[in-house]
C-alpha cells in the first residue's frame, strides 16, 4: 500500500504544533512559583524557656538600699522576634533609716539588645506605724544576668518616713534556680498540616490541568 507522505505531513504538522503549544501551556510559571512557595515559608522551630531564680541588688538614690528577692522569666528563643518577660518580688532595706520596703513589678524586653521596660508597686515602713506607698515606671538594660535599672517612685503616705527613694538606679544580679525548655510542638504540627494540605491541593490542581490538556489533545486528533 502506497503511503502519501505529503498528505501525512500536512495532517500531522498542525497536530504537532498544537501539541507543542499544549505542552508549553502545561508548564506555566505559576507551577514553578508553587514549587518555590515550599522553600519560601519553612517551618522554623520555636523554643520557649521558663526559669525561676533569686536576685540580689544594690539601689542608690537619696538613700542606699540592698535588695533581695525572687524573679521569674518567660522567654521565647528563636531567630525571629525573640522576647523575654520578667516578674519580680523583692524586699529592700536601708540600714541608716531602718526602712524596709516590699516591691513587686514586671518588665519586658523584645529583640536581642533592646532595653527593658516595666513598672513597680512598693510599700515602705519605718516600724513606727509610718507607711508610704509607691508606684512608678522603670527602664533598664539586661546582659549576662546583670540588670541595670533606672526608675522613679511616686510616693504617697506619711511624710515622717525618711529614706524611700523617688529617683533611683539599681544594679541586680539574677541567679537561676530552675530552668525548663519546651518546643512549640503544637504550632509546628499546625504548620506542617497546613503545608501538607496546600501540597495536596496543588497536586489535585495539577492533575485537573493534566486531564484538561489530555482532553484538548483528544479533541484535536478527533477534529483532524
Q: Which residue matches cell numbers 501540597?
A: 199
State residue 49 phi and psi, 5-degree precision.
-125, 135
Within a domain: residue 204?
Answer: no
pLDDT lower than 50: segments of the chain: 1-3, 5-11, 13-41
Predicted pLDDT at 180 = 82
Q: Give the structural domain span for 53.
A: 47-183
Number of domains in the chain: 1
Angle, helix 5-26 to helix 185-223, in steps of 10 degrees: 160
Task: Provide the pLDDT for residue 184.
Answer: 67
- pLDDT in the model for residue 80: 76
Q: How confident is the model at residue 217, as a pLDDT? A: 61
How far apart CA 89 and CA 142 sit, in angstroms, is 17
Q: What is the pLDDT of residues 63-119, one digit of tens each?
A: 999 999 999 999 887 777 888 999 999 999 999 889 999 999 999 998 777 899 999
Q: Is residue 171 part of a domain?
A: yes
Is there a domain that residue 62 lies in? yes
Which pLDDT score is estimated for 108?
94
Asked whether residue 126 is domain-assigned, the answer is yes
Helix (H/G/I), strand (E/B), else coil: 51: strand
- Give the CATH number for residue 156: 2.40.160
Amino acid at each position: 500500500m502506497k503511503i502519501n507522505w505529503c498528505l501525512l505531513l500536512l495532517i500531522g504538522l498542525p497536530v504537532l504544533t498544537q501539541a507543542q503549544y499544549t505542552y508549553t501551556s502545561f508548564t506555566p510559571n505559576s507551577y514553578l512559583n508553587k514549587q518555590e512557595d515550599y522553600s519560601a515559608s519553612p517551618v522554623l522551630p520555636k523554643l520557649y524557656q521558663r526559669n525561676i531564680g533569686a536576685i540580689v541588688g544594690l539601689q542608690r538614690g537619696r538613700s542606699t538600699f540592698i535588695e533581695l528577692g525572687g524573679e521569674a522569666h518567660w522567654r521565647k528563643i528563636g531567630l525571629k522576634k525573640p522576647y523575654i518577660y520578667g516578674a519580680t518580688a523583692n524586699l529592700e532595706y536601708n540600714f541608716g533609716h531602718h526602712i524596709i520596703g516590699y516591691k513587686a513589678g514586671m518588665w519586658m524586653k523584645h529583640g536581642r539588645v533592646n532595653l527593658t521596660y516595666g513598672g513597680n508597686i512598693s510599700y515602705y515602713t519605718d516600724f513606727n506605724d509610718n507607711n508610704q506607698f509607691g508606684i512608678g515606671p522603670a527602664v533598664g538594660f539586661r546582659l549576662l544576668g546583670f540588670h541595670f535599672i533606672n526608675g522613679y517612685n511616686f510616693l504617697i503616705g506619711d511624710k515622717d518616713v525618711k529614706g524611700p527613694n523617688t529617683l533611683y538606679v539599681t544594679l541586680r544580679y539574677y541567679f537561676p534556680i530552675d530552668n525548663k525548655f519546651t518546643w512549640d510542638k503544637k504550632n509546628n504540627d499546625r504548620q506542617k498540616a497546613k503545608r501538607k494540605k496546600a501540597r495536596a491541593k496543588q497536586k489535585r490542581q495539577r492533575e485537573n490541568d493534566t486531564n484538561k490538556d489530555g482532553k484538548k489533545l483528544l479533541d484535536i486528533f478527533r477534529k483532524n
